[in-house]
Amino acid sequence: MMERFLQLQAAVHATLLSPALNVDESDIVTLSRADLANVEEVVKTLKPVKDATVFMSEERSPTVSLIAPVYAQLLQSMSDTIGDQPLIRDVKNAIKTDLLKRYNSEAEKKILHTSSALDPRFKGLPFLTEEERLDVSAGVTSEAASLEEYERKQRTEADQAHGRTGSSGTKEELLSVDDNVSDSAGPSAPKRRASSLLLSLLGPAFINDTSEPAVQSKTADASAEEEMDLYCRSPAVPLSEDPLDWWHRHKGTFPLLSRLAKRYLCIPGTSVSAERVFSTAGDVITAKRSALKPDHVDQLVFLHKNLEIPKC
């Protein structure tokens, strides 16, 4: 409001002094030069807060990973600087005191810092101390390893269940499946047999020459630590890049961390989007459309929020 007034103050003064209004100049109460100077300083002080509010209220960009760096930046912007007027110091202290009451619990800090660490734009966590960064990195590695162990267990149980189901077929069914496979695949290539002379010459040195080499799988902890180390050493990502697109492109390089990032970066940073959905639903359901069925309301709201209609 103050910023808008500064932009329009010349027009406001001209309108108040217009003869068409027939207003006595003594009745006009306006701001003095000192007041205008204070308003300009307050607008400049509140600009980071306004920018953060506008950005976090966008529809697609804000995720929970933005809260910690934006919060740290606002606290830094509200610190006292040399030359601040008493009014500006009071404004900064009021905002800083209110901000310091938020995100104090360990659970909140863990979620915010972990999500920021999984955002390739903020993975360096410059707003934390070195000790805090190490703790966050260790927590992300541990959580990624736990996720990998859980998924390995699920795959093992699924394979065992599939094996039990597959072995329950009768001999006739298995034979019929083999016949169908052989018919559809055509004549099979003759298997190559190793020479007995080659076996007698090199057999003692290459005992497993006819079998595939065994691949020793890494533990979940080792895989998570290796990915985290590679992720921290990867180049920095510009702030203009979408973190979800980045993870989609690099999910092959970081399979564990990319799955963990999906859990955190899907969390919205604010409830603004949800509030907009309620407002849209209020525009859809009117007195003349009160007979709409719930399914139709859901479809109309979905189309309104997701359908892109080209401008003619």
Number of Cβ within 10 Å of residue 21's Cβ equals 10
Enter the DSSP assignment of 312: -
Q: Is residue 292 part of a domain?
A: yes
CA atoms in the 13 A half-sphere facing the CB of 191 = 3
Per-residue pLDDT band at 312 (split at 50, 70, 90): low
The structure tokens listed for 301 are 């709201």
Q: Is residue 277 part of a domain?
A: yes
110-134: average pLDDT: 93
Per-residue pLDDT band at 205 (split at 50, 70, 90): low
34-57: average pLDDT: 90
Tell me: the pLDDT tens digits for 241-256?
889 999 999 999 999 9
Nearest to 61 by CA among 237, 235, 280, 240: 240
pLDDT at 210: 45
| Domain finish residue from 105, 136, 166 | 105
49-64: average pLDDT: 86
Q: Is residue 72 part of a domain?
A: yes
Q: Is residue 119 part of a domain?
A: no
Q: Is residue 245 part of a domain?
A: no
pLDDT at 196: 56
pLDDT at 282: 86
pLDDT at 167 over 80: no
Tell me: the pLDDT tens digits for 134-150?
999 999 999 999 988 88
Q: Is residue 175 part of a domain?
A: no
The count of domains in the chain is 2
| Domain finish residue from 48, 79, 105 | 105
Range of the domain at 40: 2-105
pLDDT at 70: 92
Tell me: the pLDDT tens digits for 3-21?
998 899 888 878 877 777 7
Q: Is residue 240 part of a domain?
A: no
pLDDT at 194 over 90: no
Q: Is residue 73 part of a domain?
A: yes
| Domain finish residue from 76, 105, 134 | 105
